């Protein structure tokens, strides 16, 4: 969702902060009173609120709900000119109350209290700013307040282009209906308001009334929406935002959770609860498909039972899909019904989302809720297609067999919404055949088709009265698009390292027998010029990659298209850069989440430069047999299934990328196939519009039938109506606008696409479908009949001879990539590496299977992480504490030891940190740091052989072997090593058993009788204690512990601990700016050979 409504209080305070920068001061005093005001433990009691706002104690006040409620005054929900005691009593009486406003029922939970502004009726004005494709529109009414009436009919308008700010003189003329004494104030206010509107990325701002007196202007009532996609631009200006749910629909914690997931990923995750006790639940992939499924369920008479609207798309990981699915399943199974429930898992044919990957997450969630699903008599109906869909559907068939759940499974052989009447019990269960990976043809039983029942009592919507915008039919807009006819010689530049998309385009080129690849070059500014390797059929080819677009354009003059995969943060700059290269005549902008203002500026610049645009938020477009943009059309199996390797007679335009692939499928089943198809993108302001592409198809002699799939929100479909009625479109047009379900909801629902929300008159899908039918388009009764309508028109043109079906060519073959073939289970190959200690493939990093969030939540610490990664075990807390103690005591032993000395010499030679550290670590061996392994081996061997400490000492003496871990140059019985004492005492106190340490201490008693410095040293103490720790902590067997010690984990502890000190010595030398070290000659004995 792009445009988000904000609370009135937030909107006023935001404006007040920024209007002052333009010389306009607005009184925005006020505070919110929420439901917890009566809770004595709350931080927001009446007492605390009044302490923060002492002015409220002595000022007459206004109180009203701040919950996006329209027409509060007429509903008796504005309490005016009252004392704080009166306001407190009134608010307390209203909090928690259920009220109905404009047929919407909701609970009052948030109130705004602000100063009462005494004024006369003639001081009230209506002020508003709205956004459109060309810029902003200022609206003004002389009479404001509750009785403003029909603003659309009464308001004066001033259109301001994107780069135009009206002068104060123009603004004074604009507000000429106001008293002369108020015009300067109003003009100054409008000037500042427009600047703030643009700077803060508002999409709607309505003040009614604005009170203007001799001293100041005060917005009494405000409604505003901001462009949420501009958050990365405005975060510091907005501050903490307050974006409430629509009135009448309190936000569920699960919705907030999904919104937080959505904010953390490049995928799209949306969830709106419509009726938590409803019988029909959906898990639908794709913004457009999610609306189509909701439409179909409502068309079939089940709007009152539809429990949720939501979508997951944009290639979410299996972990993200799992979290999304388990959230929905948790809500669904919270209540039970005698008639059971149904879960519809659907979607269009995906372009690039790995269906099997998302289904792994879904299967995991279904297994988690298996018992609840069975107990709730919940039936599951699945229809999915796209990359790797066969494996995904096989997983569902396997789950059905193993779990006992009622699951029906269908693939692209069935239309997208064909499962809806089946799931709703409107057709027999045997009317559709389940997916069978071995079956090639599927017959659809006529019993599976059901006509949507008329909605009782629903009036036919009146045809909206509006003036068509000249923008889409202007010669400027159409020239750029009309000159864009893709061919088998069209070449492009790809912005971004999009290897998968490039390989898909090259495979399509090879399949279509193009002479030259369509991808001329790639641009990636974060690396130098290089080549990237791809396949051309079975052969390998190189595609050049340049660090700048100018270099790519200068080297490849034949490239006329830029496919821009830049992120929403940088796409604006890359597009502006592209306009400086005249050879680029078409830009396809793939990124979602581009701020609306930036999109409109890109559109304006493209019109100025006569450059055609597709997107933003698009998958691209496809011209069968000629050219493919990015991932359009999906994987090669879908290219073949939808016959996109050769041209047909149908040209389509859609907003949705996923539904464009569904259209490929529908058109191929009901006609001779696609001539060309484009997904213009789901944003509110797509770079090109429906009419632009339909007029291109009108001019293309090979295109005989036009298809339009519009949606709720926006008014671009009316330009198509005008083009039909004016005779500019003469070819038959089959059209449908999705989002008809919106009229069934009592509150505003923002669908998956940013532009899929009716913002004004005539933007409802029902209105647009009726207008298209009246203009002469073929409009079916529902999306379920869309294919039948295409078939009817196609067969009619065939019978007239307008279309002459051509023989089907041989299906071209393109070798399958090894990586994809492996995913499909067609080939296997041993891995080059095996790793069992960590996994970075899921939603979060895991150490030995433990998620990193759990590592921190349970405070495992460095010791716990080391145990997970080294031993693949979760050791007790005393063990992880001991590991950290070892690291601390081995961290350093002064600058004189070999490792530290080497590190210092390397640092003083100007080497970097890693080189200095490596120099020090290379000294670790039998003579430095190796005593740990040696001591562990000797003491453990003696203990395991069962010999006494005395016999062990005697044996070593006879063999002339030093006892590793015994002896110290400086320390002795009289001057003990504190490090040894600390480690020894900790082990004796906390370890379950210490037989190796006890044996070694007995050996020490014997050796110190000979000489007092033959004590247990720190290396030996660490070694024997660690043996006891691993052998007796209960997490592993003795054999496992001995294997770990034999593999060198003790030396690893020394290396890890001592690295801390070595790094410290390197940094110390750098800090001290020490020069190159040269050993003094007088400290070297020079011995001549002749001696």
Task: Summarize pLDDT for 603-643 with one digit per residue, the tens.
Answer: 999 999 999 999 999 999 999 999 999 999 888 888 988 99
d(CA 999, CA 939): 8
User: Residue 260: what pLDDT?
Assistant: 86
d(CA 484, CA 651): 14
* pLDDT < 50 stretches in the chain: 1, 442, 444, 454-477, 479, 752-759
Neighbours of 241 (CB within 10 A): 15
Active-site residues, by number, are 753
Q: Count Cα neighbours of 934 within 13 Å in the Cβ-side half-sphere.
A: 15
d(CA 256, CA 266): 17
User: Residue 481: what pLDDT?
Assistant: 59
- What 3-state class would DSSP assign to 1054? helix
d(CA 239, CA 797): 59
Q: What interhelical angle do 931-945 and 995-1010 show, nearest 10?
A: 100
CB 190 within 8 A of CB 175: yes
- 954: nearest Cα among 1001, 997, 1010, 998: 1010
> Cα–chain-centroid distance for residue 234?
19
Neighbours of 544 (CB within 10 A): 17
Pairing of strands 838-839, 846-847: antiparallel
C-alpha dist (Å) from residue 770 to 224, 454, 456: 30, 15, 18
- 30-57 as b/e: b if 16+ CB within 10 A: bebbeeebeeeeeebbbeebbeebeebe
User: Residue 259: what pLDDT?
Assistant: 86
> Cα–chain-centroid distance for residue 259?
10
Pairing of strands 519-523, 491-495: parallel
CB 693 within 8 A of CB 817: no
Which residues, in sequence order, are CB contacts of 638 under 8 Å at separation 6+?
Answer: 349, 385, 386, 387, 412, 644, 661, 664, 665
> What SS3 string covers 58-98?
CCCEEEEECCCCCCCCCCCCCEEEECHHHHHHHHHHHCCCE
- 869: nearest Cα among 892, 895, 835: 835
Question: Backbone phi, then psi, for 788, in 5-degree steps?
Answer: -65, -40
d(CA 830, CA 597): 51
**pLDDT tens digit string along 877-907?**
999 999 999 999 999 989 999 999 999 999 9
User: Residue 843: what pLDDT?
Assistant: 73
Helices (H), 827-860: 852-857
User: Residue 810: what pLDDT?
Assistant: 86
Name the token pair of 519: 């991808």
Peptide bond before 616: cis, by omega within 30 degrees of 0?
Answer: yes
- 288: nearest Cα among 639, 680, 571: 680
CB 209 within 8 A of CB 146: no
C-alpha dist (Å) from residue 694 to 651, 705, 775: 8, 10, 15
């Amino acid at each position: 969702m792009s445009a988000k409504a904000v609370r009135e209080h937030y909107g006023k305070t935001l404006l007040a902060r920024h209007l002052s920068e333009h010389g306009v001061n607005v009184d925005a005093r006020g505070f919110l009173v929420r439901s917890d005001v009566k809770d004595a433990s709350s931080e927001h009691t009446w007492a605390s609120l009044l302490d923060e706002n002492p002015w409220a104690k002595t000022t007459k006040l206004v109180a009203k709900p701040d919950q996006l409620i329209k027409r509060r005054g007429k509903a008796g929900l504005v309490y005016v000119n009252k004392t704080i005691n009166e306001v407190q009593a009134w608010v307390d009486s209203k909090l928690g109350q259920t009220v109905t406003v404009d047929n919407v029922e909701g609970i009052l939970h948030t109130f705004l209290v602000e100063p009462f502004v005494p004024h006369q009726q003639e001081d009230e004005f209506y002020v508003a700013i709205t956004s459109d494709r060309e810029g902003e529109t200022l609206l003004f009414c002389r009479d404001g307040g509750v009785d403003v009436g029909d603003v659309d009919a009464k308001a004066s308008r001033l259109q301001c282009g994107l780069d135009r700010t009206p002068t104060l003189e123009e603004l004074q003329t604009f507000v000429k209906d106001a008293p002369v004494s108020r015009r300067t104030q109003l003009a100054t206010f409008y000037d500042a308001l427009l600047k703030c509107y643009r700077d803060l990325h508002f999409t709607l701002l309505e003040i009614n009334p604005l009170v203007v007196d001799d001293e100041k202007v005060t917005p009494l009532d405000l409604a505003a929406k901001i462009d949420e996609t501009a958050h990365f631009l405005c975060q510091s200006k907005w501050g903490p935002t307050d974006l409430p749910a629509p009135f009448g629909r309190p936000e569920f914690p699960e919705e907030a959770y999904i919104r937080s997931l959505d904010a953390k990923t490049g995928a799209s995750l949306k969830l709106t609860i419509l009726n938590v006790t409803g019988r029909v639940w959906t898990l639908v992939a794709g913004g457009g498909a999610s609306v189509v499924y909701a439409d179909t369920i409502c068309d079939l008479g089940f709007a009152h039972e539809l429990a949720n609207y939501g979508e997951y798309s944009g290639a979410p990981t299996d972990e993200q899909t799992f979290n999304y699915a388990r959230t929905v399943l948790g809500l669904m199974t919270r209540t039970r019904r005698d008639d059971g429930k149904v879960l519809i898992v659907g979607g269009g044919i995906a372009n690039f989302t790995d269906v099997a990957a998302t289904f792994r997450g879904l299967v995991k969630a279904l297994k988690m809720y298996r018992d609840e699903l069975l107990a709730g008599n919940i039936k599951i109906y699945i229809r999915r297609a796209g990359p790797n869909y066969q494996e995904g559907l096989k997983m569902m068939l396997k789950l059905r067999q193993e779990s006992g759940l009622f699951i029906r499974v269908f693939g692209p052989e069935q239309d997208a919404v064909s499962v809806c009447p089946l799931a709703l019990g409107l057709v027999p269960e045997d009317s559709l055949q389940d997916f069978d990976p071995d079956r090639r043809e599927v017959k659809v039983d006529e019993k599976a088709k059901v006509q949507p029942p008329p909605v009782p009592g629903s009036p036919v919507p009146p045809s909206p009265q509006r003036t068509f915008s000249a923008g889409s039919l202007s010669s400027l807009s159409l020239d750029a698009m009309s000159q864009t006819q893709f061919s088998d010689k069209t070449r492009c530049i790809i912005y971004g390292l999009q290897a998968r998309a490039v390989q898909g385009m090259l495979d399509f080129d090879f399949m279509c027998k193009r002479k030259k690849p369509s991808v001329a070059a790639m641009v990636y500014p974060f690396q130098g010029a290089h080549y990237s390797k791809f396949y051309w059929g079975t052969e390998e080819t190189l595609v050049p990659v340049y660090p700048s677009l100018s270099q790519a354009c200068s080297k490849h003059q034949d490239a006329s298209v830029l496919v821009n995969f830049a992120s929403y943060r940088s796409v604006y700059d890359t597009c502006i850069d592209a306009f400086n290269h005249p050879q680029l005549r078409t830009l396809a902008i793939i990124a979602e989440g581009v701020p609306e203002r930036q999109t409109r500026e890109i559109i304006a610049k493209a019109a100025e430069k006569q450059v055609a645009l597709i997107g933003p938020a698009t998958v691209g477009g496809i011209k069968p047999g000629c050219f493919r943009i990015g991932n359009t059309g999906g994987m090669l199996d879908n290219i073949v299934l939808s016959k996109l390797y050769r041209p047909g007679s149908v040209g389509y335009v859609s907003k949705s990328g996923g539904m464009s692939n569904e259209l490929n499928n529908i058109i191929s089943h009901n006609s001779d196939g696609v001539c060309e198809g484009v997904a213009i993108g789901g944003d509110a302001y797509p770079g090109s519009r429906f009419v632009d592409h339909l007029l291109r198809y009108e001019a293309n002699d090979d295109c005989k039938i036009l298809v339009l799939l519009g949606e709720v929100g926006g008014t671009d479909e009316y330009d198509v109506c005008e083009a039909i009625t004016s005779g500019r479109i003469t070819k038959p047009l089959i059209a449908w606008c999705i989002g008809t379900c919106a009229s069934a909801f009592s509150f505003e629902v923002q669908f998956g696409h940013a532009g899929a929300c009716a913002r004004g008159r005539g933007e409802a899908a029902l209105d647009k479908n009726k207008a298209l039918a009246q203009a002469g388009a073929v409009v079916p009764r529902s999306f379920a009949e869309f294919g039948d309508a295409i078939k009817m028109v196609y067969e009619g043109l065939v019978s007239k001879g307008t279309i002459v079906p051509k023989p089907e060519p041989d299906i071209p073959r393109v070798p399958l990539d090894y990586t994809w073939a492996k995913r499909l289970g067609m080939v296997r190959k041993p891995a080059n590496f095996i790793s069992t200690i960590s996994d970075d493939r899921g939603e979060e990093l895991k150490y030995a299977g433990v998620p990193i969030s759990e590592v921190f939540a349970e405070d495992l610490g460095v010791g716990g992480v080391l145990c997970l990664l080294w031993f693949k075990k979760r050791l007790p807390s005393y063990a992880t504490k001991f590991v950290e103690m070892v690291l601390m005591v081995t961290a350093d032993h002064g600058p004189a030891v070999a490792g530290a000395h080497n590190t210092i010499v390397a640092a003083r030679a100007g080497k970097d940190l890693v080189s200095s550290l490596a120099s020090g670590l290379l000294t670790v061996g039998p003579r430095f740091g190796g005593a740990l392994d040696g001591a562990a081996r000797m003491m453990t061997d003696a203990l395991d052989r069962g010999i006494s400490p005395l016999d062990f000492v005697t044996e070593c003496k006879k063999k002339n072997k030093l006892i590793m871990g015994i002896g110290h140059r400086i320390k002795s019985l009289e001057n003990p090593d504190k490090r040894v004492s600390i480690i020894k005492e900790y082990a004796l106190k906390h370890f379950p058993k210490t037989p190796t340490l006890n044996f070694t201490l007995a050996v020490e008693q014997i050796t110190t009788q000979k000489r007092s410095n033959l004590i247990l040293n720190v290396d030996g103490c660490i070694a024997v204690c660690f043996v006891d720790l691993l052998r007796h902590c209960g997490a592993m067997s003795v054999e496992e512990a001995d294997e770990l010690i034999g593999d060198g984990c003790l030396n690893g502890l020394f290396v890890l601990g001592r690295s801390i000190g070595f790094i410290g010595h390197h940094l110390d030398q750098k800090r001290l700016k020490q020069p190159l070290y040269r050993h003094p000659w007088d400290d070297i004995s020079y011995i001549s050979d002749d001696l």
